[in-house]
Structure 1
């Protein structure tokens, strides 16, 4: 399949999923929360405000809070205000479990929003299933969340890791035979490489992954990983690093000629681009998840303006 057509299909399917899940959530609210008009509708958000995902998590919390403020300013839902309760899971699955359970059992939240990291997302989803609470995933996208660990209470508005892995394979597989991989040693990266390899065989049977590097999340020193990757003489490096890890890799990789001696492809978020600024190397093959500037429509434009005005971001 042509990569441009594939990307178009990915965007349309993601948009359809977002609209469908939003409609389902609204329907649930309208049918199940018509009573107890004096109580706020509580939304629990367990996210990763500490660690490599901190910038993402701050933007996530700010975006959810702005949406809630706007809904409340318009009279709320069925006359009830919304209230956001936030917990910091620090990219630790055990904290994701304990915080989510506390939000449900002690704080009595009505709905949940998922974290940043997929490993934490898996635990948050498991608790949601146990207590039969709807949880909306906005960032974690391990394929296991919506396949083997799927349950009727979990929804997602992001493309599955399968979709992203296949899109990356379709983008860099043809024309490149030697591919090196680097990704954080955690859930989504392992799943991403698995599905990347599966699709790579289809788009270029002669291509192979010649090196794999698995630094821990929050790794401060990438020198040994960089030299190992470069020694494999790759045609392209596929990075599944993100957040502070991607920023560190980019900054440390430049003196080794990573971005001049070979091609690099990576999942990239807006916060990464902002943090790197002029240090972001030219020619990077970037994959992004529906950045706001690619989504057309008055509602998105207005929300973006309001977000920037409120948070100076």
Structure 2
């Protein structure tokens, strides 16, 4: 009798009572909310260049580039529970591959962009195969060591200018569309398209069974092992995907600044990217974007006021971590839920 009631979806009183998983309606609401937020955010990003000057359009491009980098890092930190201090190396690989391929070898920028993303994926996956065998502090240190190794290679390579770096790096040619990417507004929309593609790919990853296994690893890796999952290949592939997005960010960064030097590969750059993820909210999909926006705008504002802006930015970071549980995204979510359901009965 229970089976027939479950099939019919009716309770004992004959009324329509769903006996399906109670998480399903919640998941549907969360998906709808995500689509609303994504749509509103995209409209806002599209509108930015029409209401601000060239300087702030350039800052907006910088924010989106860092958001691609930090979104990839969040796949490791927020979804898999791995902290890397060497991810700037993959950003540097993407940047240098684009610079060398376009500036020195003369290949089209669109081709070297794709090549740099692929190379970053392969290198990151290879390093991931070695790194994810370690845990906690050991993982942190081995990623730091790999990052410093790539930084040293870039610094000592005369072919790419060594410590002086490379200049006059071209942007992608979109003249066949009648667009001149040397204009910051046009380049901003190109970066925005790359950002949207990166986030769509990332969303497909985290919503897939693969992504759910990553969350399981973050929550309790021993339990996932007991369930029969070999967590090693999952973590290695997540590391590779994260490195691929860092390579895309590097390729865009070098076109944005027309310049690259080994500083892009330092552990400080990796640390700054981690700060962006934590400030924005490491367990929120759009947290890295909020963190990147906060970091870039705060740094720009404080650097205009004082040369000791890093000290004040450090204080801001401490305040965010201390009082914004879950980062900026977590704070916004709590405020939204409070106004949406002041009686606390939402979803019942």
**TM-score w.r.t. length of structure 1:** 0.25
Q: Whose RCO is larger (CA < 8 A, sep 6+)?
A: 2
Structure holding more strand per residue: 1
Higher Cα Rg: structure 1 or 2? Answer: 2
**TM-score w.r.t. length of structure 2:** 0.23
Structure holding more helix per residue: 2
